Structure 1
Amino acid sequence: MTRKKADRDARLSRLIGLRVSESFYKRLKEWLANSNCRSITELTRSILYREEIVWKHTDASLESTAIELAGIRKELNAIGKNINQITHHFHTTDSAREKFYDVQRIDKEYKQVSAKVERLLTIAGELSKKWLQ
């Protein structure tokens, strides 16, 4: 399937050479890093055409929260794997003493999960207060 040819008026067929100062070029590079444009050429074309440029903004205060949430997610995954292994051992063993020991270990793991869930709820509450101001 071939691509449809672009309209003659819409094609970028004319070249315009443009010289700028080093300071302005650095400013363009900074704008490029925070915009949705892929190249300086695309950025300058958008400025010339007065097209809408989407600026990307990250909230530095949320970085530590995101790192903490990622850590909690990793810990919860590890706890879940531990519970699955203990449950598998529980179902494969015939000894009542080993089953009792497995139940105690699972109880300990679930207590860790509840502590992590409480921390998640605290973080979610803080985030909702921040975003609903």
Structure 2
Amino acid sequence: MNGNNNKSRVVNFRMTPQEYARMESKWKRTTCRKLSDFIRHRVLDKPLVSTHRNRSLDDFMAEMALLRKELNSIGVNFNQAVHKLHMADTPTELKMWLRVFQKDRQILLDQVEKIKLKIYSIADEWLQ
């Protein structure tokens, strides 16, 4: 059985605020995404990759992850609206779903515009 897939043991310990701040500072200078990964590497003498983290890139990626989640939701709604447009039997039903489709389309375009503006902002920062 692979040990990485069977992490069933929990280790708890207490630290002073100063100890935690010191540990957190060391963790943030590595490529470890999670504090538990950092601690596991340190305790098990595994190699750690230290790197200078680009805060603006980290912020950008966090924002893009949120936008991606929103875009996925919008895409699902958009696909449902298109499907219902194809299934509409009456002109009234067709008009209703067309309004929903147009609203979802506008939300999608607004989100794409947000992404474009954020990319321009990051590009301007990098070019300076």
Q: Which TM-score band (shorter chain)?
A: 0.5 to 0.7
Report the Cα offset of residue 112 of structure 1: 0.7
Structure 2: distance between partners of 1:84 and 1:34: 41
**Which structure has the bigger radius of gyration?**
1
1:34 aligns with 2:30: yes
Report the Cα offset of residue 111 of structure 1: 0.7
Q: Which has the higher helix share?
A: 2
Structure 2: distance between partners of 1:125 and 1:41: 42
SS in 2 for 1:73: helix
Instruction: Pick one of 68, 71, 76 that aligns with 2:66.
Output: 71
1:99 aligns with 2:85: no
Structure 2: distance between partners of 1:72 and 1:64: 12
The one-letter amino acid of 1:120's match is I
Partner of 1:62: 57
Q: Taking structure 1 as the reference length, what is the TM-score of the superposition?
A: 0.58
SS in 1 for 2:52: coil
C-alpha change, 1:130 and 1:95, in structure 2 (3 Å) is same
* Count of residue pairs brought into register by the alignment: 95
Structure 1: distance between partners of 2:90 and 2:59: 46
SS in 1 for 2:65: helix
Report the Cα offset of residue 63 of structure 1: 2.6
Structure 2: distance between partners of 1:107 and 1:99: 12
Report the Cα offset of residue 118 of structure 1: 1.1
The one-letter amino acid of 2:63's match is E
The one-letter amino acid of 2:78's match is I
C-alpha change, 1:41 and 1:74, in structure 2 (3 Å) is closer
Partner of 2:120: 125
Q: Taking structure 2 as the reference length, what is the TM-score of the superposition?
A: 0.60
C-alpha change, 1:131 and 1:82, in structure 2 (3 Å) is same
C-alpha change, 1:64 and 1:96, in structure 2 (3 Å) is same
